[in-house]
Amino acid sequence: RSPDLRRKEADGKTYVKYQVIGASNVAVPTHFFKVVVGETDRKELEMEAYVMPNQVIQDKTPLTVFQVPPESIERAAGLLFFDRISRDKIKKINGREMKS
C-alpha cells in the first residue's frame, strides 16, 4: 500500500496539498522514501522500500508499517531504483520471497 496524498475537496476536484515555508515558499515534504538493496551472508540480494510521513512517529512503531512496493515509489517519483540490477536477482522484496 502506498500513501495516497490526494484529497478530494468540496468542489469535487482532487488536490495534493503541502506546506510552504520562508520568503521563497520552499515546499515542505509530506513524506520521505527510502529504497535499499542489501546483500545477505549467503550473497543473496534483498530489497526493502519505505514511505514515511514527515511527522513524529512513535518509537515503538514497527518499520514494516511503512513498507510499500518499490514500484509504487518509482511510479510516484518518476524514477527507477537499482535499474542495473535485474529484479530476478533479488531474492526478497520487503521480506517476501520472489518467484524465480
Residue 92 has pLDDT above 90, yes or no: yes
Distance CA 37, CA 58 (A): 25
Helix (H, G, I), strand (E, B) or coil at 4: coil
Could you tell me the maximum CA-CA distance found in the chain, to the nearest angstrom?
55
- What is the pTM for the complete model shown? 0.79
| pLDDT (tens digit per residue) in 11-65 | 999 888 888 999 999 999 989 999 999 999 999 999 999 999 999 999 999 999 9
Q: Where are the domains of the chain?
A: 1-6+30-100
- In this structure, the strands spanning 6-8 and 14-16 are antiparallel
pLDDT grade for 6, boundaries at 50, 70 and 90: confident
